[in-house]
Structure 1
Amino acid sequence: MLIDSHCHLDYLARDGDLDEVLARAREAGVSPMLTISTKLREFDVVRSIAESAGDIYCSVGVHPHEAESEPDTAAAELIRLAAHPKVIGIGETGLDYFYEHSPRDVQQAVFRAHISAARETGLPLIIHTRDAEADTIRILEEETGKGPFPGLIHCFSGTQRLADAALALGFYISVSGIVTFKTAEDLRTVIATVPAERLLVETDSPYLAPVPRRGKRNEPAYTAHTAAKVAELKGLGAAEVASVTTDNFRRLFAKAEI
């Protein structure tokens, strides 16, 4: 069994073949799947997909790209929505200074609201960070000083500094198909240093399809390709990676009934 710890099934559903996507995932041994919220205004769609099957869970949150369109996101509203039995995480949230679709100060304020919700609910914070490592680390350290909260860096593509800071805070590292790309040698070097008991695997589908599916629409069934690269980097067998990443998911996303 492999768990896709981060996918966007609502985006895949727009192509009209979600049932087939889910069938291929299950046939490939990928189950459960965690489908991720990026906009509160579309959360009902994400939640309904999670409600449609026993092996699908969801998160609630606002992607940093969307922070300007939902700047008044409050921890209280996130906490209220997170009470649903299928909601097992807070986010994705964080900072993206690469595209800067939202002003940095707004991103930071919305990020802190999500952190408050994670602290209050005990649900893991699902963190997106791109070209914003210094502020991400600073905010996480400042907020941890107010009280601990669980979390992970999703689709990790950062530096050793970010990985070490995340691990020091007790967070997990989630690995996407980027780790299979020819240009990702630096990332592979970092992932090789992360303890296996702190790793998760994900697709971030429909984006970032791993080799040998590079350039295609990504989907949860392809989690196995990323897991195979993690196994190679850690010197483990495929079954060992499946087992350890599943155990890690269970430990972090303890609300999920798996």
Structure 2
Amino acid sequence: MSETPFLVDSHCHLDFPDFAEELDEVVARAGRAGIGTMLTICTHVTRFQQVRALAHRFDAVWCSVGIHPHEAGREPATDAARLIELADDPKVVGFGETGLEYFYEHSPRADQQRAFRAHIQAARETGLPLIIHSRDADADMAAILREEAGQGAFPGLVHCFSSGPELAETALELGLYLSFSGIVTFPKAEALREVAKTVPPERILVETDAPYLAPVPKRGKRNEPAFTVHTATRLAEVLGMEVADLAAQTTENFFTLFGKVQRPSP
């Protein structure tokens, strides 16, 4: 493995308790695996200060501010103005994760949609990317994205993409990126791999969603940013690309979308 950073983990949760006892080593392992930049994602606005502090602790780590749809009915109601205020920090580079989660539905759908629209407004007003979570909500997600785009464009990505071709098409039409996680390596994810083949390479990112969704051959273990390599390797196979070319493309895509992030030194 090259010692030169050549991949970005565009979505992980380094503030989660799973990493508390060895966070320094987790970040160091990522660097040794060639992961030069990590974006750790906020899920609770009430924990944002800890997320931001973690990003400031490591040069290679950046962060977002936002409320996961699971928490939309439990976290304090947070409008776009407050999100924008919290993003006024050099290490805060996006809004989310936010969106719609209808599989578990831990928060009422109305609360999820309200929070989602507030995050979209913040992204529209600042130009910072929106980090979208969508599960079992394709129809409502597409409808809200189209409606909001009609009020003005906003940058963003659908993270951990696992939906069907219709949502992929909608997202791409609206200028959004799609990020693929370890799910794309799972044996039963052939339908997702077929969707991935339809996405222009210049609109693809890779991620771990660590500590969840460890890719093959690490499935069953706690996921971590170093494992981004395995997802990138499998995705390159699916797309008929060399791994180095996919790494270069997805890395460039990340820095194009997340323009506030500083590129690591060679």
Letter in 2 for 1:49: L
TM-score by length of 2: 0.96
Amino acid at match of 1:17: E
Normalising by structure 1, we get a TM-score of: 0.98
Aligned to 1:229: 234
* CA offset digits 1:73-111 (Å, max 9, x no partner): 111110001111101110000000000000001100000
In structure 2, C-alpha distance between the alignment counterparts of 1:174 and 1:100, rounded to whole Å: 22
**Is residue 12–residue 206 contact of structure 1 (8 Å, CA) maintained in 2?**
no
Q: Please give the per-residue CA displacement for 1:109-159, whole angstroms capped at 9, x wherever unaligned.
A: 000000000001100000000000111110111011111000100000000
Matches within 5 A, 1:1-258: 1-11=6-16, 14-70=19-75, 72-258=77-263
Whether the aligned pair in 2 keeps the contact of 1:96 and 1:128 (CA below 8 Å) is yes
Q: Among the aligned pairs, what percent are the same residue?
A: 62
Aligned letter for 2:88? Answer: A
Q: Verify the 8 A CA contact 2:18 2:211 in the aligned structure 1.
A: no
Distance in 1 (CA, whole Å) between partners of 2:240 and 2:161 is: 20
Question: In the alignment, residue 25 of structure 2 is paired with which amino acid?
Answer: E
Which ranges in structure 1 are unaligned for 5 or more consecutive residues?
none
Distance 1:47 1:190 in 2: 34
Partners of 1:61 and 1:90 within 8 A in 2: yes
Post-superposition shift, 1:183? Answer: 1.0
In structure 2, the residue corresponding to 1:127 is in which secondary structure?
strand
Distance 1:219 1:238 in 2: 19
| Count of residues paired in the alignment | 258
Q: Is the 8 A contact 2:206 2:228 kept in 1?
A: yes
1:233 and 1:134 map into 2 onto residues whose CA distance is 27
Does the 8 Å contact 2:19/2:26 carry over to 1? no
Cα distance between partner residues in 2 of 1:89 and 1:71: 19
Q: Return the offset for 1:15.
A: 3.7
Backbone CA RMSD of aligned residues: 0.9
Q: Is the 8 A contact 1:71 1:110 kept in 2?
A: no
In the aligned structure 2, how far is the partner of 1:12 from the partner of 1:87? 21
